[in-house]
Chains A and B, each alone.
Chain A
Amino acid sequence: MASVSTRPVDETPDKELLARHAAGDPHAFAELVNRHRDRMWAVAVRTLGDPEEAADALQDACLSAFRAAGRFRGDAAVTTWLHRIVVNACLDRIRRKSVRPATPMGDDATFDAVAPKAPDPTDAHGVALDVRSALAVLPFEQRAALVLVDMMGYSVDDAARVLEVPPGTIKSRCARGRARLAPLLTHHRNRPGPRNVGGVEGGGTPR
């Protein structure tokens, strides 16, 4: 089923799948999810950082989309709509975590991920970890904008449609986020020339 996404030529259009689903076709929605699951996963795991949380968020999102499909307005791309639901599911997860008093099993890994680590510039895995923990210090809105624009390659306009804010807001969130991340990630720059990066404002006290 996942191979569907590699054969776009004979694919049923997303909107038609959604319409079939709304009309009662029991298989249409599963096909739609299978088609877009990988990118929905990418949005979720990059936004949340923690794979377990991201898995739950993706499942939440799929069920939300399933239920709301009948109300999909045809003026947006289905993927835009799906990714919006994923982002919202992630936000719901974060809201719940932030108010949960005790930390049940599985949360330790998340907190480890959130805590900034001593940088290890030597390997790709280290870069990935650093990017993840750096992203975790950003406010959700900035992180979501950067996930869509810088990580997923969305245009500013498309990201604006997903997040339902004006394009200027996306630009501003991306700028704030990059400015915040820059001092956290300078040790990964692959340009020559050591420089004085200590004490750059914004990098000292990740929230």
Chain B
Amino acid sequence: MKNPAHLDYDTLADLAEGLLEDDHAASVNAHLESCADCRDRSADLADVSRLLAEAPTPAMPADLASRIDSAIAAESLHSAQVVSLEQRRGRRHWRLLSAAAATAIVLGGGAMVGKAALEGSDGDASTAAKTPVMDGSDGGAAMRSSARAPGAATEGSGPRRDTLAAPVTFTVAASGTDYRASSLGPQVGDLLGKGGESRTEGRAPDARLSECVASVTRGKTPALVDSARYEGGPATVIAVRAAKPDAWEIWVVGPDCSAQDTRELKHTVAGG
């Protein structure tokens, strides 16, 4: 501004939005009365809003509607399968099951420790989550069986979660991995496939993350929840064992993932 007495765009924009203190607004208005340049500048701001309002919206790509319809249809299929599984188990039952017979995998330093609460255990999730168990080769089988065979491990003995704040139980690792889109599957596979020499415990998730994970996996207990990095930015990597052996269904979500909005960055099935 050549004349320091003139008003800059910021001041004028604040005036237009009623953001200035009363006495400041009064002096600005007084200046505007006497200064054509600043009135002009004020009109520039109004023009900005007008130009924005008049700017045409670029056309939607021709194939986008059908692309989205297909993606939703695929997702419907996926969720329908989950629902039918849920129904087979009994809707209330699966929540108890998930909370009680949780497969809680704790990761640290690239290795797996932790515990798969197996059928036949006492089903105490808090104990299960804290008891380091098996070596890695065993771990896969344990996870598979607990994920697939709810069985006797569950009903009644686990903590009741009728309010379903956290339908799945897990702990959150911080492996320090910087996941990459191109190597997501192998990176998860490395973490989950390795032996359990490390004993770094994960932390318990807060309520938001619990709900986030439950929403993302649709109630399936994750084999891995890793608060790490993805493509250089902070992210949470969630993996659930897929139907095929050694395959993982993997989601990458933003650090502010919640049930309302999972901030999903990536969803893929890898391995197998």
Q: Which chain A residues in 2-44 approach chain B with CB under 8 Å? A: 2, 24, 26, 29-30, 33-34, 37-38, 41-42
Given known A58-B68, A92-B263, A201-B8, contact A175–B13 (CB-CB < 8 A): yes
Question: Is there contact, CB below 8 Å, between B72 and A29?
Answer: yes
Cβ-based interface call for B22 (8 A): no
Most buried by B among A96, A186, A188, A191: A96
Selecting from B26-34, B39-47, B147-155, B184-192, the interface stretch reads B39-47
Residues of A within 8 A of B40 (CB): 193, 195
Q: Count A-side interface residues using an 8 Å CB cutoff.
A: 71
* Residue among B1, B44, B45, B71 making CB contact with A62, cutoff 8 Å: B71
- Pairwise interchain contact A182-B44, C-beta atoms closer than 8 A: yes
Total A-B Cβ pairs within 8 A: 183
Q: Does B122 sit at the interface, judged by CB under 8 A?
A: no
B10 and A67 contacting across the interface, CB-CB below 8 Å:
no
Residue of A nearest to B47 (CB): A189
On chain A, the residues within 8 Å of B49 by CB distance are: 150, 178
A55–B64 touching, CB < 8 Å: yes
B47 adjacent to A45 (CB under 8 Å): no
B147 to chain A, nearest CB (A): 20
Q: Most chain-B Cβ atoms within 10 A of its Cβ — which of A54, A66, A127, A180? A: A66
B5, CB-defined interface residue at 8 Å: no
17 pairs across A/B with beta carbons < 8 Å?
Answer: A29-B72, A30-B72, A41-B64, A45-B60, A52-B61, A55-B61, A62-B71, A64-B264, A66-B79, A84-B261, A88-B261, A96-B265, A135-B52, A178-B45, A179-B9, A182-B9, A185-B51
